Amino acid sequence: MDLKKGFAVSFLLLPFIFTGAACKQSISGLGIQLELERKTLSNGLSVIMVEDHTVPIISYQTWYRAGSVDEHPGITGVSHLFEHLMFKGTPKYGPKRFFQELETKGAQVNAFTTRDYTVYYETIVPSLLEKVIDMESDRMANLELNEEILNSERMVVLEERRLRAENSPEGKIQEALWQLSYRRHPYQWPVIGYSQDLLSISLEQVKEFFKTHYQPANATIVIVGDFKTEAAYPLIKKYYERIPSKGKVKRKIQEEPEQQEERRLTLRDHVLSERFAQAYHITAATNDDSYALDVLANILFEGTSSRAYRRLVEEKELAIAVTGSAYTPTYPGLFIIAGVMKEAVQSGEAEAALDELIREIQDPNSVISDQEIRVAVRQLTVQLVDSVRSPHGLGQLIGTVQTIFGDPQRFASDLAKYFRVTAPDVKRVAQKYLIPNNRSVVILAPGSERKK
């Protein structure tokens, strides 16, 4: 028992320690030790390197500050389209070579796109490192784009859209929810884009997007794993430094005006029971309210002992599942709550139960116990430790904070901020953000969308 207490105290006071010069820092805490080295090439490319020789694996990640937030109506989905086009080849390495050179030698090669950034990643054995650097730098500078490539990939992306958005109950709800929540800000459209835009987007528009966003000053390379910094960095300089700089892209994003009234939408599909999702406007990752919002989300929704699970699933037996989380990206995001109702139960009943729960948190006289806060912070700590289990996970964590905050060590100081969250902080953010006029609600009800 004493051991556990001592451990908890050390967690609370000092999750991570930083030592070292500005470009090379040791980070230790939570029983984890890592050395992180950060460099910037003359063309503005950021490079972050973390050696970890536990297993003979390297995660190589290229983060472009280009996401759906950088699109506009007419070219929605173009940032995600690049996730496909980037594998179509250059004059030096033609179509399929990325897979021939890397994947067929056992490497894992893939990419993902978010609202704020696009990431290309390879998990490789060390002998492939120079080849990856060569090929990634080559496609950053010399990607080949033509009508034939564009047309074949738009068909594939439309299939992906059918899979993820149009034929998935969750996908349908999420797309409608973001569209309902934002009226000006580009977070309103789906990352995969709208079908009509995917069909009409032109080669010139695609080329322009590439020219603007796929360049060194707008990118970060993250390497984690079994390599030597003194050997890898000269290779990065050799292959990337010759790519000309165009300067970091300045984003011009329309701000979302404050929402003044609740918005609601009902969709229909051949589902067994009603599903619903609520979205409250909250803040961005850079605002310290985001830590209290994460703790609030954990208190309400994490695990079967959470307040919402107990109330909606176990006590009232209204829903078969309820989830919630605070999504705080680069620009102000959403606190999203979603649920699947039991057969024949109306989602309105779950919404009423949720409103009651939120009011209980907001009530100035109610109690949020220190124990609840400690549990939530501990859950967030385990999530962080889990995420750094593999070189890929650690690289993703570093890449995220570097791309959003420009600070690769931010995840460590983030954890310290969670430890400082208090019950009044949680109450305050619930009072500030979780109010009906600030939310949008989408319901997916059993039925047909077809006109009779």
Partner 1 sequence: MKFLSILLLFGTSMTMAAPSPPDIHLPVPELETLPNGLQVVWFVNHKLPIVDLALFVKSGAVDDLSGKSGTSELLVNLLDRGAGGMNAQQLARAVESLGASRYAATDEETISVGMHGLAPDAPALLELLAKMVMKPDFPEAETRRAHGRLLQQWSHLADYGETLAGLAFRRIIANGTRYARGTFLSGKEFKQVTREDVMAFHKAHFAPGNAVLMIVGRVDPAEFKKQVLAHFGSWQPSPRSQTRNPDKFAKDPRLVIGSQLAVIDRPELNQAHVKIGFRAPKIDSPDHYSLVVANALLGEYFNSRLNSLIRDKMGLTYSIGSSFAYNKELATFSITSTTRNESVGQLIRKVLDVLRDFKKGPITQEEVATAKEYRIGGFPLTTSTLESVATQWLSAYVFGLGPKRLNEFIPKIAAVTRDDVSSAVNRHFDLDHLVITVAGDAREIEKSLASLGNTGGMGLKARSRLPRLKVKRIPIRDLM
Binding flag, residue 162, partner 1 (CB under 8 A):
yes
Indicate the helix (H) or strand (E) that contains 442: strand 439-446
For residue 423, the minimal CB distance to partner 1 (Å) is: 16
Binding flag, residue 252, partner 1 (CB under 8 A):
no
Part of the chain binding partner 1 (CB under 8 A), chosen from 38-46, 113-121, 155-163, 402-410: 155-163
Binding flag, residue 310, partner 1 (CB under 8 A):
yes
Token readout for 374 is: 């400690």
Cβ neighbours for 67, distance < 8 A, ≥ 6 positions apart:
79, 113, 114, 115, 116, 117, 118, 191
Part of the chain binding partner 1 (CB under 8 A), chosen from 3-11, 133-141, 244-252, 412-420: 3-11
User: Helix crossing, 410-419 with 2-13: angle to 10°?
Assistant: 120
Looking at beta carbons only, is 262 or 386 nearer to partner 1? 386
For residue 392, the minimal CB distance to partner 1 (Å) is: 9
Of the residues 157, 295, 338, 397, which one makes contact with partner 1 according to CB under 8 A: 157
Binding flag, residue 320, partner 1 (CB under 8 A):
yes
In 3D space, the residue among 49, 394, 23, 47 whose CA is nearest the CA of residue 217 turns out to be 47
Token readout for 183 is: 């009226």
For residue 281, the minimal CB distance to partner 1 (Å) is: 29
Binding flag, residue 36, partner 1 (CB under 8 A):
no
Part of the chain binding partner 1 (CB under 8 A), chosen from 19-27, 336-344, 355-363, 425-433: 336-344
Binding flag, residue 53, partner 1 (CB under 8 A):
no
Binding flag, residue 4, partner 1 (CB under 8 A):
yes
What gap in Å lies between CA 142 and CA 136, rounded to an integer? 10
Of residues 270-299, which lie at the interface with partner 1 (CB under 8 A)? 270-273
Token readout for 195 is: 């079908």
**Helix spans in 241-346 (H):** 289-301, 307-308
Max Cα-Cα span within the chain: 70
Looking at beta carbons only, is 182 or 239 nearer to partner 1? 239
For residue 124, the minimal CB distance to partner 1 (Å) is: 8
Binding flag, residue 135, partner 1 (CB under 8 A):
no
Q: How many residues does the chain have?
A: 452
Of residues 85-124, which lie at the interface with partner 1 (CB under 8 A)? 87, 96-97, 99-101, 103-109, 123
Binding flag, residue 267, partner 1 (CB under 8 A):
no
Looking at beta carbons only, is 352 or 385 nearer to partner 1? 385
Of the residues 14, 17, 23, 55, which one makes contact with partner 1 according to CB under 8 A: 55
Instruction: Give how many residues touch partner 1 by CB under 8 A.
Output: 74
430 contacts 358 by C-beta, under 8 angstroms: yes
Q: Which residues pair with 281 in a beta bridge?
A: 334
For residue 318, the minimal CB distance to partner 1 (Å) is: 11
What gap in Å lies between CA 121 and CA 227, rounded to an integer? 16
Radius of gyration of the chain (CA): 23
Binding flag, residue 167, partner 1 (CB under 8 A):
yes
Looking at beta carbons only, is 17 or 385 nearer to partner 1? 385
Strand order in the sheet with 24-29: 17-19, 24-29, 32-40, 46-51, 219-225, 58-64, 118-124, 108-113
State residue 136 phi and psi, 5-degree precision. Answer: -65, -40
Residue 280, CA distances (Å) to 64, 353, 418, 433, 439 in order: 28, 17, 21, 7, 4
Looking at beta carbons only, is 199 or 385 nearer to partner 1? 385
Q: E strands of 228-347, at which residues?
A: 263-269, 275-281, 319-327, 334-341
Of the residues 15, 16, 27, 30, which one makes contact with partner 1 according to CB under 8 A: 30
Of residues 410-439, which lie at the interface with partner 1 (CB under 8 A)? none
For residue 190, the minimal CB distance to partner 1 (Å) is: 15
Of the residues 303, 406, 424, 436, which one makes contact with partner 1 according to CB under 8 A: 303
What gap in Å lies between CA 166 and CA 158, rounded to an integer? 10
* Interface characters, 360-399, with partner 1 (x: CB under 8 A): -----------x--xx-xxxxxx--xx-xxxx--------
Of residues 176-235, which lie at the interface with partner 1 (CB under 8 A)? none
Binding flag, residue 242, partner 1 (CB under 8 A):
no
Q: Which residues pair with 120 in a beta bridge?
A: 62, 111
For residue 45, the minimal CB distance to partner 1 (Å) is: 26
Looking at beta carbons only, is 253 or 272 nearer to partner 1? 272
What gap in Å lies between CA 357 and CA 359, rounded to an integer? 5
Binding flag, residue 13, partner 1 (CB under 8 A):
no
What gap in Å lies between CA 452 and CA 238, rounded to an integer? 65
Binding flag, residue 349, partner 1 (CB under 8 A):
no
Binding flag, residue 448, partner 1 (CB under 8 A):
yes
